[in-house]
Amino acid sequence: SNGSAVFSDASAQNPSVTGFVDGEIFTVMITDANDCTSSDTTTITVNPEPTCVPQDGLISCDTGLATIGVSNCTGTNLSYEWKDPNGVILPNTTASIDVSIVGIYTVKVTNDDTGCFTTYNPVVSDQECCDDETAFARVSDECFSSGNWGWGNFFTAETILNTDTDGDNINDTGIYELVAGAGNNCANGEVVGTIEVTIVGGNLVVDYIICDGLNALNDTHIFVGDEEPRSKAPGQYPYKEGDIIPVPADEFYFIAHAVVEVCPGHSECSLTAKSNIAAEDTELLFGESTADPEIVPITVGTPVTKTSVSMYPVPFNTTLSLNVDIQYEANVDVELFDMAGRLIYKSSRHKVNPGSNTISLEGMSRIPSELAIIKVSTGREIILSKVVSNRQ
């Protein structure tokens, strides 16, 4: 030998040997009791271990999954054994897999012809994602009635608009903060834009103005009526461009919600000062209106070119509403999975028509407070997204 091998007992007939390198020359000499000797020489062949390029993964904001694996592996007839961050063997036997849990994974790559193997440890990381948030027009810091959960915003005020010197409200604007993600505490919310309310020629015009750095305004929800609505929660009053809502003359109640996609690192809003707002729970007074005025929202964002799904409220408690904007008739199935991939909720065969459709998912009180993956299937498309349950 050239000296690299290590023998457990160099004088034994069958010693264990380690440390050989490929191409090393090994010589054995046998001597009997008469000092007669015989020798033989052979060249050692060491089968190589597989070598691969490991690929780390990043949890996708759209699917909640990350792809990890190994590529460019040497050798043939390779097999793959995967373990999750807790050391549990996974059923996957391919070079690349999709996973949903953050952590360090282990893959054992084995050459089944030789038994040689190598292990690698791909890492799965999370990332800050844009999340759909329910936002509401806030009249003051006291934005919720006692005991309300979620975005149960409602206000009436004596003056929503600035008043001209002649007392005419026409063509003046009321400006309100659009606050997202507040739950049941205004202090937890984030200003994502403003709503400007104007009476123009007897029509009520509602402008949604979204901060720079945010993605499109996905949905608008508007209520106008002469009686206080029983429900003030978001998702109750979806509005799409072209809807006509009569505005009662002189005084009425007004609620505005929205679904806004909030992205990490967006710039804070620079807001115009709010109008002079009176105390809550008083009447909302305007000037004269025409017999058939309408709400005309200025929409923000790009036209829908494929099926889109938005959710409200986010996070949800016991009920989750889906707005499905689709271009064909379909029966929609909705499934909810936890981050380990287990099915935790299913609701099937919701009939939808071309245009905007609302699906209300009931009976979700047993879903734990956690991040989950929602799967919406139309028969032609599958839409995956993340959603948060916040069961109180």
In a domain, 239, yes or no: yes
Mean pLDDT in residue range 95-117: 95
258 and 234 assigned to the same domain: yes
What CATH number is attached to the domain comprising 66?
Answer: 2.60.40.10
In a domain, 269, yes or no: no
- Cβ neighbour number for residue 218 with a 10 Å cutoff: 21
The pLDDT of residue 162 is: 39
Most confident of 92-96, 165-169, 181-185, 257-261: 92-96
144 and 232 assigned to the same domain: yes
258 and 138 assigned to the same domain: yes
Q: What is the mean pLDDT of the chain?
A: 72
pTM over 0.85: no
Predicted confidence band of residue 99 (pLDDT cuts 50, 70, 90): very high
Please, which contacts does 382-387 make with residues 24 or more away whose CB atoms are closer than 8 Å? 383/307, 383/308, 383/309, 384/62, 384/63, 384/64, 385/62, 385/64, 385/132, 385/309, 385/311, 386/61, 386/64, 386/129, 386/131, 387/311, 387/314, 387/315, 387/316, 387/320, 387/336
Q: Which tens digits make up the pLDDT trace of 346-359?
A: 888 899 998 889 99
Mean pLDDT in residue range 308-331: 85
252 and 322 assigned to the same domain: no
Domain residue limits at 23: 6-43
In a domain, 36, yes or no: yes
Q: Which residues are CB-neighbours of 309 under 8 A, at least 6 positions away? A: 322, 323, 324, 325, 376, 383, 385
Q: Which residues pair with 83 in a beta bridge?
A: 89, 106
Number of domains in the chain: 4
The pLDDT of residue 299 is: 32
190 and 221 assigned to the same domain: yes
Q: Which tens digits make up the pLDDT trace of 108-166?
A: 999 999 999 999 999 999 877 776 777 766 655 544 444 343 343 343 433 444 333 34
Which has the higher per-residue pLDDT, 128 or 99? 99
Which has the higher per-residue pLDDT, 79 or 222? 79
Predicted confidence band of residue 5 (pLDDT cuts 50, 70, 90): confident
249 and 339 assigned to the same domain: no
The pLDDT of residue 363 is: 79
- For residue 341, CA distances in Å to 81, 101, 316, 373 come to 19, 9, 20, 8
In a domain, 320, yes or no: yes
The pLDDT of residue 256 is: 74
Which has the higher per-residue pLDDT, 183 or 281? 183
The pLDDT of residue 25 is: 83
98 and 178 assigned to the same domain: no
Which has the higher per-residue pLDDT, 26 or 85? 85
The pLDDT of residue 15 is: 84
Q: Which tens digits make up the pLDDT trace of 155-180?
A: 343 344 433 334 444 344 566 677 77
